[in-house]
């Protein structure tokens, strides 16, 4: 039996671009790693549930298993989530947009032909069709909703401008978008009055349709209207993506220019 991989997650360094995202930009960085420290995620059963040690699988019609094969709880997508996350993450654009309002008139979106993941061996670039767009919220719960697409599938959802009064609480923020996560976040202050709470794979333990996601909450001066919750695809590269990896020093087309952005 092959020895399980031991993957460590490489923390994201907050460059000026990353801080800009916290303050209201629309870039969702992606990264990878094993959330279970000593073994990869269990293969998902046909209904999306992760196998458990006795060979059975807990029901997971939503595509989100309740526990991993190590017997420990996984992150939850709540039934009363304002938007149906499991019907958006990993889906085609049209499927996700069915639950969203119109594009914001002042949002031009963004497109490029490269993606990046943070793997144990370091930041890894690969060719892809990357795009993001900002939408209004048809439920009226959030100020805006940002969707990131990779190769024609939803790879990230971000909720900005959360409703709330009183002291800011990142776990309450998670529940407002429909999540409960088992681990403790990494807390950082990348800039004055900006605070972030990051649940990397190990702490989020969030599997949706068999793929791993990490979660980041941020707020400026602890104010609810400035709060943002990002759900970010954080899975390992597929074999197809591995075939598209390139050296950023030579660029995706070999012209010598490193990709802009992340």
pLDDT bin (cut points 50, 70, 90) of residue 166 is: very high
What percent of the chain clears pLDDT 70, i.e. is strictly above it?
69
Q: Which two tokens stand for residue 117?
A: 């993941």
Contacts 24+ apart (CB under 8 A), 238-241: 241/115, 241/126, 241/128
CA distances from residue 132 to 13, 76, 107, 151, 232 in whole angstroms, order as listed: 21, 25, 10, 11, 12
The mean per-residue pLDDT over the stretch 1-8 comes to 32
| Residue 50 near residue 208 (C-beta atoms within 8 A) | no
Q: Is pLDDT at 226 greater than 50 in this prediction?
A: yes
How high is the pLDDT of residue 248?
87
What percent of the chain clears pLDDT 90, i.e. is strictly above it?
53
Summary mean pLDDT of the chain: 77
CA distances from residue 256 to 61, 246, 247, 252 in whole angstroms, order as listed: 47, 11, 9, 9
How high is the pLDDT of residue 94?
95
- Sign (positive/negative) of CA torsion 86, 88, 89, 90? positive
Q: Is pLDDT at 4 greater than 80 in this prediction?
A: no
Q: Which of 10-24, 126-140, 246-260 has the highest mean pLDDT?
A: 126-140
Q: Is pLDDT at 210 greater than 70 in this prediction?
A: yes
Name the more confident of 23 and 173. 173
């Amino acid at each position: 039996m092959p020895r399980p991989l031991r993957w460590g997650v490489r923390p994201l360094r907050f460059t000026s671009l990353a801080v800009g995202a916290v303050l209201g930009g629309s870039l969702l960085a992606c990264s990878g790693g094993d959330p279970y420290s000593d073994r990869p995620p269990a293969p998902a059963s046909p209904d999306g549930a992760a196998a458990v040690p006795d060979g059975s699988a807990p029901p997971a019609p939503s595509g989100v298993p309740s526990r991993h094969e190590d017997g420990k709880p996984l992150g939850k997508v709540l039934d009363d989530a304002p938007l149906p996350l499991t019907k958006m993450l990993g889906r085609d654009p049209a499927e996700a947009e069915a639950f969203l309002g119109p594009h914001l008139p002042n949002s031009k979106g963004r497109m490029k032909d490269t993606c990046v993941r943070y793997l144990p061996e370091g930041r890894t670039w690969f060719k892809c069709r990357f795009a993001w767009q900002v939408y209004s919220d048809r439920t009226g719960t959030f100020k805006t909703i940002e969707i990131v697409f990779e190769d024609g599938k939803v790879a990230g959802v971000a909720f900005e401008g959360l409703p709330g009064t009183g002291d800011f609480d990142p776990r309450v923020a998670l529940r407002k978008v429909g999540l409960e996560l088992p681990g403790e976040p990494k807390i950082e202050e990348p800039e004055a009055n900006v605070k972030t709470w990051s649940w990397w794979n190990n702490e989020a333990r969030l599997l949706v349709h068999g793929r791993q996601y990490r979660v980041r909450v941020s707020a400026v001066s602890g104010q609810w209207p400035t709060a943002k919750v990002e759900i970010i695809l954080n899975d390992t590269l597929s074999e197809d993506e591995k075939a598209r990896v390139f050296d950023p020093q030579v660029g995706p087309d070999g012209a010598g220019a490193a990709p802009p952005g992340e």
